[in-house]
Amino acid sequence: MNESALGAGLAALGFWLFMAAVVVVGVWATVRKRAIQKELVQRMLESGQKLDQEMLDRIFPPRAAARSAGIILVFFGFSVAAMGLAADIHYPTVTLGVLALFSGAIVWIKAER
């Protein structure tokens, strides 16, 4: 078997395994965080505390999903650009990676404000 084909195949496999891990961990973390937030609200209601809109905004931050999406895009862009350099497919892959990296950075920064 050609060694360069084997290396490219292993690089592709590693990339897709990394992407699968990022998606699974991101979904699991989001679901777990949401369950904890709901449990907190339930306990507050059971204890008789009043919940106003300010308290709900602190418990359920409205921009958490955008921040997570920005972080994921930054890591995705970095990994695509790095793989493009490693696999010697410079222009299209590195361009896509840099575009994703900067898009993620913009989303991440805007979500912080």
Q: Contact at 8 Å (CB) between 87 and 93?
A: yes
* Lowest model confidence (mean pLDDT) among 41-50, 61-70, 76-85: 61-70
Mean pLDDT of 42-57: 86
Query: Could you identify the residue written with the tokens 């709901």?
Result: 38
With a CB cutoff of 8 Å and minimum separation 6, the contacts of 102 are 77
CA dihedral 31, 36, 37, 40 (to 10 degrees): 160
Mean pLDDT of 85-98: 79
Q: Contact at 8 Å (CB) between 73 and 101?
A: yes
Residue 64: per-residue pLDDT = 66
Q: Contact at 8 Å (CB) between 88 and 101?
A: no
Cα–Cα distance, 31 to 21 (Å, whole number): 15
How many structural domains are present in the chain? Answer: 1
**Structural tokens at position 90:** 């410079």
Domain coverage including residue 69: 3-112
Residue 39: per-residue pLDDT = 92
Q: What is the residue type of 83?
A: M
User: Average model confidence (pLDDT) for the chain?
Assistant: 81
